[in-house]
Amino acid sequence: MELDELRQRCEACQGCKLCQTRTKVVFGEGNEKSDIMFIGEGPGRNEDLTGNVFVGPAGQLLDKMLNSIHLDRKDIYITNIVKCRPPKNRDPAEEEKKACIGYLRGQFSLIKPKILVCLGRVAATTIIDNDFRITKQRGQWYNRKGIWIIATYHPAALLRDPSKKKESWEDLKMIRSKVDEISKKETQGQLNYQ
């Protein structure tokens, strides 16, 4: 299956009640060959209206965060746990996450990132551990079958509480270091192979 086919299936999804209130499905976007995938919780109002991921104020902050570590949207792939906006931007319910997780798994298997960045508690509890505590466990690397996973604050949380930006900056520097480390290993592997 190609990513476009998965997107079409997702856009036709009726797997949970969110399909009744969505304007548009927000599948995800970016570099389909990227080594790094950022995962948020779900679309907000601006994303629901446009069908694009992270386009509101939190998306603008995410762009600044990426730029601060010399990354750009064209360098990464961005998606969410759920692809339809929960009403009033509430957290996605368990049944909604379960209905959508297959799409995220499909994105992961097609893109094959080496690094996953969970943006916020909902992504971290879904991807890393049900009991994940974002304030205590953010900024720690986990390795699952050769995939490096880290969680940091969601940009929306940083807009609500700017005092967390310093911790987030530390996380971003760790992400940049891991990107560089993987890139260096790949380059060395190619040189050794030749």
Determine the pLDDT at residue 194: 43
Q: Say how far apart CA 65 and CA 172 lie, in whole Å.
A: 8
Q: Which CATH architecture has domain 3-193?
A: 3-Layer(aba) Sandwich (3.40)
Q: Report pTM.
A: 0.94
Residue segments in the chain with a per-residue pLDDT below the cut of 50: 193-194
Considering only CA atoms, which of 15, 6, 86 is closest in space to residue 47?
86
For residue 193, give the amino acid letter.
Y
pLDDT in tens, 109-165: 999 999 999 999 999 999 999 999 999 999 999 999 999 999 999 999 999 999 999
Determine the pLDDT at residue 185: 81
Residue 55, phi then psi, degrees to nearest 5? -115, -10
For residue 121, with 0-12 CB atoms within 10 Å meaning exposed, 13-18 middle and 19 or more buried, which class applies? buried
